[in-house]
Every structure is written in C-alpha cells, then in structure tokens.
Amino acid sequence: MSNVTMKVNGKPVSGDVEGRTLLVDFLRGPLGLTGTHVGCDTSQCGACVVHVNGEAVKACAMFALEAEGAEVRTIEGMAEADGSLGTIQAAFQEHHGLQCGFCTPGMVMSAAALLKDNPKPSEAEIREYLEGNICRCTGYHNIVKAILAASGQDVPAIAAE
Amino acid sequence: MYAFELERPKTLDAAKAALAGDEAQALGGGQTLIPTLKARLASPAKLVSLAAVEGMSGVKAEGDQLVIGGATTHAIVAAEAALTYPGLADLASHIGDPAVRNRGTIGGSLANNDPSACYPAAVLASGATIVTDRRQIAADAFFDGMFTTVLDEGEIITEVRFPVPQAGAYAKFVQPASRFALTGVFVARFSEGVRVAVTGASEEGVFRWTEAETALSGNFAPEAVDGLSVSPDGMIGDLHGTPAYRANLVKVMTKRAVAAAS
C-alpha cells in the first residue's frame, strides 16, 4: 500500500491505496463519492469521466496513484455553493437530458470540459466531443440541447421531436 | 487485475533503474494497458509510469523536424502540432475520444504497435526516427509485426522526431465501436518522393504501399492510384470486414488522404 494525496472538489484528501487501485475506486470507496459511475469498466462508456487538473479523463482508466498532487473534480463538485444545481446540471434537468441517469455524471463532466475549451460549440462539435460518452436512454438529442442551452445558445428543434 | 507495484519516477535515470527488473513494464497513458490488465492478459510485478518523468512531454520544432516527447498526450499533439504539421495534429485529434486523448501517449501507442492504431501510420509515412534511452531507430526498422517492435525489454521511447513533409494527411475509416482504424492511410509528400503507410489492414501491422508511393511520386493526385490494386492475401478478416473489403479500403483511403493533402 502507498499513500496518495490529492485535492477533490477543492478539499485535500489522502488515503492508502494499492498500485492497482483505480482512481474511480478511490473516489467511490474511501471517499464515498459515488456520483461518479462505473458503467463498462473498459473505458468505452464515459460514465466515470472526472476532471484531473482541468482535463476530462476516464477515472476507470487511471490509477489513483497517478493523481498524486492533482486537482480532481467530480460531479459532486458541479453544484453551486448553496447546493443548487450548476448551470449544466440545470440545463440537463430543463431539457430532459437524462432518463435513467446512469451516464449523466460523465455527460455533465464531459460537457463542462467541452465548454471550458469551446464556450459556444456547434451541435456537430457537441456530438463529436461526446463520442466517448454512451447513453442508452435518450438518443442524445436532449443531451445536445441541454449543452447548447448551458452554453447560452438558442436551442433549435432537433430531429426526432 | 492482479496486484502490482506502481512507481512514478521523476527522472529518466530513475525510470531506467525502475525498469531494470525482470517483471517490470512501462506505463504510458494506460488507455490500452489498463484494460489489458483488467482482462488479466498482462501481469507485471511492477508498472513504471513515465508520465512524471521530466522532459518527456512536449512538442517542439528543431530545424526541419518536429520533435515530440515520448510521454506527450494525443491532446497536446493535436493542439501544439497544428501549425507545424497539420496532418499529424489532425490524426492525433481523432484518436479514441477526448478523455482518451487526454491520457494516451505517442510513446505508448508506438511501443504497443496495435495493428489498427493511428500513430504507426504517421511515423512510418513520415520516415520518423524513434529515439529511446539507448539508441535511435528509423521507422522503417521499428515495427516488427502485430503488437511487436524492435524495442528491448525496459527500453523507453524518449522522443519521436518527424521530418515535416511538404504535404501530409491521414484518412481513417473508423471502426465506430473502438474508434480504431478499420483501415487508415497516411500519405506524406517529400521533395525526394511520396511515402504511403497503411494501418488497420494487414495481419503484419502497419506497412508501406510501395506501388502507390511510386505512382504518387509521379503524380500526386487521387487518380494516380486508380490502376493499382491491393491483394487481400495477408489482410485482416474479422466480423467488421473481410480481407477483400480491407484491401479495397487501402486504395479508397489512400485516395482520400491524397485529396486531403493536396
């Protein structure tokens, strides 16, 4: 076992982990941050996306020890200080960007990473950026609408309405 | 995953020392290796992460070459090579998905030599040089068949040096589930001639299509390869495509790459 120290959602945390302990297992287990989901566990589905030093990564494809000293942000860090939903979360609610909700934490974290680099993405850019996030309920249209809305853009009628 | 020890050395010397043992293996971004470990297809006693090694990440121009550190992520190559070698940056910007590109590295991709990976095509078509902690290896001598390279145990790719062509582009027919190349072709036109490298198609891994190189060196236009055909012998056949399908894709993607580069 080795000790690992990092900041998660602004709070310093540390714990003892094995070499093989995945970042997602450290977040969900010792830290109890179960908002980050494990979907496929083969780095295909994106349900486990978190930010490490500001970049979207799949927390099931990174070891906890590799986040030593890093700033990690999870879905639990996306709400406003008063506990109300953040802009992207509120847009997902408003536009029905989720049904079962399993993929939603990863979708929101990927959306946040996209909007940081590209504050006004086109519909095509949003769809391309979400290549690594799989949703089996919504058919994606409402997720795309939510992200357009969260970026302050008009939400067009998208096919399949 | 079986248990292993994970080390994160800060210097190249420390990484070399950590990799000296029999059961040690280098870890790049882990985007292939970690799923492999989960499937228990690999069981190293020790993993040595190269991510924290000083001086191993970054993109810089040196004379007429573009030099990329071995631990540089695809996302950094996509952003920082865009002006100097747009064809290479475009390739890097379409590997996997955004989260994979933030972790996966050029050194890891080359050392793994997946027969459907994108980077081997760019390295071979560009005639790049792979620099390790112990020698320099020309791309033509580096790849040694599917998932095999001439790297020795514990040898570390420290940088990759790309001669920048007059024109270069990559065309990938995406296998949509894995986002690897069902077949991908990189063409690079230099003053001394054109080089064409194909990934995703052959059971031997990445290869140069020399007939196309000759034709394109005479006329760098998509129709220059119209009269050529590729034999399906030795091409990969699986549920995604037959050998004949892939052989045809080699030609189609070559034409698309030439069109994109022209």
Residue A161 pLDDT greater than 70, yes or no: no
Quick check: helix, strand or coil at residue B252?
A: helix
Nearest CA in chain A to B38: A42
Helices B243-261 and B210-218: crossing angle in degrees, nearest 10, is: 30
Kindly report the nearest CA distance between residue A32 and chain B, in angstroms.
22
Q: What is the predicted pLDDT for the residue at B224?
A: 98
pLDDT band at A156 (very low <50, low <70, confident <90, very high): confident
Domain residue ranges of chain B, discontinuous segments joined by +? 5-49, 59-163, 167-261
- Residue A132: CB atoms within 10 A of its CB come to 21
Give the one of A19, A46, A49 whose C-beta lies nearest to B4's C-beta: A19
Side-chain half-sphere exposure of B100, counting CA atoms within 13 A = 27
Looking at the complex, does the CB of residue A72 fall below 8 Å from at least one CB of chain B? no
* Separation of alpha carbons B3 and B12, rounded Å: 25
Residue by residue, pLDDT tens for chain B (262 residues) are 999 999 999 999 999 999 998 899 999 999 999 999 999 999 999 999 999 999 999 999 999 999 999 999 999 999 999 999 999 999 999 999 999 999 999 999 999 999 999 999 999 999 999 999 999 999 999 999 999 999 999 999 999 999 999 999 999 999 988 899 999 999 999 999 999 999 999 999 999 999 999 999 999 999 999 999 999 999 999 999 999 999 999 999 999 999 999 8
Q: What is the DSSP pairing of strand B46-49 with strand B129-132?
A: unpaired
Average model confidence (pLDDT) across chain A: 96
Looking at the complex, does the CB of residue B14 fall below 8 Å from at least one CB of chain A? no
Q: What is the predicted pLDDT for the residue at A158?
A: 73
pLDDT band at A159 (very low <50, low <70, confident <90, very high): low
Nearest CA in chain A to B36: A42
Domains of chain A: 2-77 (3.10.20.30), 87-150 (1.10.150.120)
Token representation of residue A121? 């993405």
Q: What is the predicted pLDDT for the residue at B178?
A: 87
* Separation of alpha carbons B131 and A64, rounded Å: 30
From B175, B170, B163, select the one nearest B114 (Cα to Cα): B175
Cβ atoms of B72 and B58 within 8 Å: the answer is yes
Give percent of chain A above pLDDT 90.
93
Residue A76 pLDDT greater than 90, yes or no: yes
What's the pLDDT tens digit per position in B174-186?
998 889 999 999 9
Work out the average pLDDT over A40-65.
Answer: 96
Quick check: helix, strand or coil at residue B168?
A: strand
Q: What is the predicted pLDDT for the residue at B22?
A: 80
What is the DSSP code (8-state) at residue B238? B
- Tell me which of A20, A60, A68 to substitute to probe the interface with B (most B C-beta atoms closer than 10 Å): A20
Architecture (CATH level 2) of domain B167-261: 2-Layer Sandwich (3.30)
Work out the average pLDDT over A54-59.
Answer: 98
* Separation of alpha carbons A156 and B17, rounded Å: 58
From A113, A128, A44, select the one nearest A74 (Cα to Cα): A113
Give the one of A19, A49, A62 whose C-beta lies nearest to B47's C-beta: A19
Quick check: helix, strand or coil at residue A8?
A: strand
pLDDT band at A160 (very low <50, low <70, confident <90, very high): low
- Residue A117: CB atoms within 10 A of its CB come to 14
Architecture (CATH level 2) of domain B59-163: 2-Layer Sandwich (3.30)
How much is the pTM? 0.95
